[in-house]
Amino acid sequence: MVDLKGKKALITGASSGFGADFADILAKKGMDLVITARREDKLNALKAKIIEKYGVGVRVIVMDLTGFDAACSLYEKVKDENIDMLINNAGYGMYDYFERQDAAAVNRMVQLNVVSAMTLANLFVKDFAAKNSGWILNTASFAAFNPTPFYAAYGATKAFLMNFSVAIRTELKKCGKNVCVTALCPGFTDTEFVETANQKRSKLLEMVIGRSYPAAEEAVNGLLKNKPVVMPRFMNRFAAFFLRFLPRSLAAEAAFMSIRDKN
């Protein structure tokens, strides 16, 4: 059992969903927190709830993490606080035919999902490697395993995060560094993701959607065991296994049929 009491975690995208769940789970384990997102009211409400329940230290940083400069700015704000764990959770998706999506909006999504997460990982992994201790959890997606029509750019960002996570985990392991890196790859989960992406909740989606808190607990446990990838729920793991045997074109067509808006 890893003792996290008195250590400190930085959680991005902490205002709701997985981010808020991670905050609760890690505070329960005794970690102090730095939580960041754009919505100050939700962060402050989460801070008050965490302090009341667990009595740990919580610092709120309100900022938009889109892009390299924002990630560097966040690192500068916390680099002297001896961060032990980075939870790269900030990100979102955009649902539609790619040709209908605004290029600037797609760019902002890629900047947040990829550039910000990669930059924070690069900055913090140096600190973790130097002290030979630390954890990095990157929130990817089931979409990382499959070309995903209607989420073409989003799915590509999550494929990047998953492969990036496994690659740097392998580097650290082979160099004998006691730094754990894990990619969380959930399927559709009952967070704000679907609404933010502007996807309608179909009957099929309602049937397969999962709960976020158990998935977040599984992710944290997997991170502490240095698992390369955590994919909550058997149905997701079975689907990902099955997809290995399909040509990518057929896998993409299957995804198209399953998540397109029928209306």
Question: Strand ranges (DSSP E) for 47-172?
Answer: 58-62, 85-88, 134-139
For residues 142 and 155, what is the distance between their CA atoms, to the nearest angstrom?
Answer: 8
In whole angstroms, what is the distance from residue 212 CA to residue 141 CA? 13
Name the region of 243 (left: φ>0; alpha: ψ -120 to 50; beta: rest).
Answer: alpha
Phi, then psi, of 24 in degrees rounded to 5: -65, -45
Q: Are 187 and 236 in contact (CB under 8 A)?
A: yes
Contact 144, 183 (CB under 8 A): yes
Distance CA 185, CA 161 (A): 10
Query: Rg (Cα) of the chain, in Å, rounded?
Result: 18
List the catalytic residues.
Answer: 154
Q: Letter for the amino acid at 226?
A: N
Give every strand in the sheet of 58-62, ordered side by side: 58-62, 32-37, 8-12, 85-88, 134-139, 179-184, 229-230
CA 195, CA 186: separation in Å to the nearest integer?
Answer: 17
